Structures are given as C-alpha cells and as structure tokens.
C-alpha cells in the first residue's frame, strides 16, 4: 500500500482493528490546503511585515569617518555623525520611517550626574541636527537616558548609593527638551523613574514642542538580553553588582 516503506523498516506497528485514516482523523479538515501554493498563502496570510514596521537603530560616536564594530552585535557599527547621516539616507531610501539613535560617550565626558546629556552640542544632538538637515523626511527617536552619560553606568542620579527618583526625572526632562530643540521627533526615556512621562510631557508642551511625541519602553525585567546594548553604549564595564532595579548600593541600569 505504502510503496515508500523501505526494506529497512524492521518494525511493523500493530494496526488497530478500527484504525482510522487521515480523513477520518481530521474529518476532512485538511488545513494544508490553503498553504499549498504561493497565491493561496498570500491570500490567507493575516500579517505582512513591511518596511513601515521597522525602526533603524544607529549608535553614534565622536569623530569623522569612524566605523567601529560592536563585538556583541556582528554587522552593527558605532558611527561618527557624518557616517550616521549616510546611514540615515540609506534608511530613507529604503522607506524606513524612523531612526533611533544611541550615543557612545567618551569616558572623560561621563560624570556622576550624566551632565553631558544637557549639552546641546553633544554627539546625539549634533547627529539629530545633521540628519534632519540631510534627510528631513525620516523621523528621529532619541534615547533620553542618562546611562551612557554617567560614570557609574546607571540610568539615574546616585546619592548615597541610591538612584534618587525626582532629581533623575528633572535631569531626564531637561535632556528631553534639549533633544526636541535639536529636532528629535520622538523622545524615548528608558529609565523607570516614577512620574517621568508626565514631567516630560509638561516640559515639552511648555517649551513649544507639542508635536514631539514620547515613546515608552515596555516594562524591563532584569534580563541578560541587555548585554549587547551595554557593550554598544559602553556601560558594560562600569556597572557593579547585579542589574536589578533597586535603591540601595546599586542603581537601576537601563
């Protein structure tokens, strides 16, 4: 019957008396029907991933013509602003709607409070201006995050070994306004301080950036998946202790 059953089939499973055929088992519901051809798969598929669903992340560093490989993310590079602009042009040509930029700040510019994030001339704000100038039709998402700017690699302001909530919110809020002034379309805070979204919204509206949006990161757990990102932004070596969001001795990183 089954002409494919080879001679090496040393084991013949007992056929039950009322053994059912595939048609009996499935009641003629053969779900492979609509998967059989390209046209029928296209006709019935419910989701279609397109270029409109993509955001292009760019890691930015100081310098010119810099293109540093990131070991943990093969094929991904840290780029200087001039090359980041080329990348943005490539993304626009592909129809990708938006970029998300992340800085890798020189260690000498990092301090306790991440104050360099407030410098309108820092690498992220310069990248925003250069990209907006060259590729106005692409959206720019900036990471309003302190961790690439702090000497301890945590995403907030530390006092007595504790990440203090309200001062961290003030610092992130000020950074958000500066990034919006540089041309950012969407501000993406990555800390988890209480009240940051409302504070950023208030500050953006008052400073005339009502059209700048805020993009919330999803809840972040203490996950090993953040390792490559830490290498990319250069905080991997700075963090001490474990990575949990806490108050005492250690602070919450990303």
Site for a second copy in 133-162 (CB under 8 A): 137-139, 157, 159
Q: Scanning residues 16 to 45, which ones bind a second copy (CB under 8 A)? A: 16, 19-23, 25-26, 28-43, 45
Q: Which is nearer to a second copy, 26 or 67 (CB)?
A: 26
Asked if 117 and 74 count as a contact pair (C-beta separation under 8 A), the reply is: no
* Distance between CA atoms of residues 189 and 186, nearest Å: 10
The answer to whether residue 113 forms part of the interface with a second copy (CB under 8 A) is: yes
Alpha-helical segments (H) within 95-215? 123-134, 165-182, 196-206
Stretch that binds a second copy, among 61-69, 70-78, 100-108, 131-139 (CB under 8 A): 131-139
From residue 173, give the alpha-carbon distance in Å to each of 8, 51, 97, 117, 143.
72, 31, 25, 11, 12
Stretch that binds a second copy, among 10-18, 73-81, 82-90, 229-237 (CB under 8 A): 10-18
Which tokens in the block code for residue 221? 């757990």
* Distance between CA atoms of residues 130 and 119, nearest Å: 16
Q: How many other C-beta atoms can be found within 10 angstroms of the C-beta atom of residue 130?
A: 18
Stretch that binds a second copy, among 62-70, 100-108, 168-176, 230-238 (CB under 8 A): 168-176
Q: Scanning residues 198 to 237, which ones bind a second copy (CB under 8 A)? A: 198-199, 201-203, 205-207, 210-213
Q: Which of 67, 72, 161, 166 binds a second copy (CB under 8 A)?
A: 166
Going by C-alpha positions, the residue among 178, 176, 206, 210 that lies closest to residue 193 is 176
* Distance between CA atoms of residues 175 and 206, nearest Å: 14
SS3 75: coil
The answer to whether residue 90 forms part of the interface with a second copy (CB under 8 A) is: no
Q: Which is nearer to a second copy, 69 or 206 (CB)?
A: 206
Q: Which is nearer to a second copy, 83 or 251 (CB)?
A: 251
Q: Which of 60, 85, 177, 233 binds a second copy (CB under 8 A)?
A: 177
Q: Which is nearer to a second copy, 66 or 228 (CB)?
A: 228
């Amino acid at each position: 019957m089954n002409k494919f059953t080879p001679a090496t089939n040393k084991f013949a499973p007992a056929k039950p008396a009322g053994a059912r055929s595939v048609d009996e088992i499935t009641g003629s519901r053969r779900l492979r029907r609509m998967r059989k051809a390209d046209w029928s798969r296209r006709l019935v598929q419910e989701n279609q991933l397109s270029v409109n669903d993509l955001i292009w992340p760019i890691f930015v560093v100081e310098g010119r013509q810099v293109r540093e490989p990131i070991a943990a993310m093969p094929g991904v590079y840290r780029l200087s602003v001039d090359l980041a602009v080329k990348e943005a042009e490539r993304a626009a040509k592909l129809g990708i709607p938006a970029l998300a930029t992340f800085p890798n700040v020189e260690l000498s510019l990092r301090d306790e409070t991440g104050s360099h994030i407030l410098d309108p001339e820092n690498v992220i704000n310069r990248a925003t201006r250069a990209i907006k100038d060259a590729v106005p039709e692409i959206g720019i998402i900036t990471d309003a995050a302190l961790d690439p700017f702090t000497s301890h690699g945590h995403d907030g302001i530390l006092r007595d070994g504790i990440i203090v909530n309200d001062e961290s919110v003030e610092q992130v809020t000020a950074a958000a306004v500066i990034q919006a002034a540089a041309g950012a379309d969407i501000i993406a805070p990555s800390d988890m301080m209480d009240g940051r979204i409302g504070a950023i919204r208030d500050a953006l509206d008052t400073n005339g950036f009502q059209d700048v949006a805020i993009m919330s990161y999803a809840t972040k757990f203490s996950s090993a998946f953040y390792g490559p990102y830490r290498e990319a932004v250069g905080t991997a070596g700075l963090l001490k202790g474990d990575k949990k969001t806490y108050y005492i001795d250690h602070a919450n990183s990303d």
